[in-house]
Amino acid sequence: MLGKGLLTGMAVTLREMFRKNVTEEYPEVQPDLGERFRGGRLELNVSKCIACGLCMTNCPNGSIKLTTVKDENNKRQLNTYVHNTGLCLFCNLCIEACPPKCIEWSKEFAYSGYSRDALIFDCMALDKQQSAEDKSQTTEEKG
C-alpha cells in the first residue's frame, strides 16, 4: 500500500520529464501574440486618417488627444495625434469607431518608464519614423 503512492509519483515524474518544455525564454525570444492582442501603443496610418475625431470621442478615459486644421479646400487635416497609454484601458473602442480603419495596436507590449511622460506617444511622429524606416529597407533591398 505504501509503495503504490511512491510508484504513482515516480510515474508522473518520468512522464513529465519527456514532455516538451513550455517555458518561454523571454526577453531573448519574443512571445507569439495572438491576432486579437490589445496592447502596446496605437499605430496610426496618417495617410488614411480623415481627422474625424471619432476615436477621441469614443475613448472613455480621454487617452487620445488630436487637433485638426482646415486646409485650402476647407477639409480637416490632422495636426497632432497623441496617445497616452498610461490612461488607456485597451478597450479597443477607438479602433472599432475609426471609419477608415487607420488605427491598430502595435505588437510591442513591454513599455516602461520612470515617469508618466514616458507613456505618452506622438503617433504622427511615430508614423513618419516608421515610413522612413520602411523606405530605407526598400532601398537596401533594391541596392
pLDDT tens per residue across span 15-67: 998 888 888 788 888 888 888 888 888 999 999 999 999 999 999 999 999 99
CATH number of domain containing 93: 3.30.70.3270
> Do the domain assignments include residue 4?
no
Residue 11 included in any domain: no
Q: Domain for residue 17, yes or no?
A: no
* 30 belongs to a structural domain: no
Q: Domain containing 85: what range? A: 36-137
| pTM confidence score | 0.71
- Is residue 107 situated within a structural domain? yes
Report if residue 6 sits inside a domain.
no
Q: What is the pLDDT of residue 21?
A: 82
Evaluate whether residue 89 is within a structural domain.
Answer: yes
Q: Write out pLDDT tens, residues 83-127.
A: 999 999 999 999 999 999 999 998 888 878 899 999 999 998 877
How many CB atoms are closer than 10 A to CB 101? 10
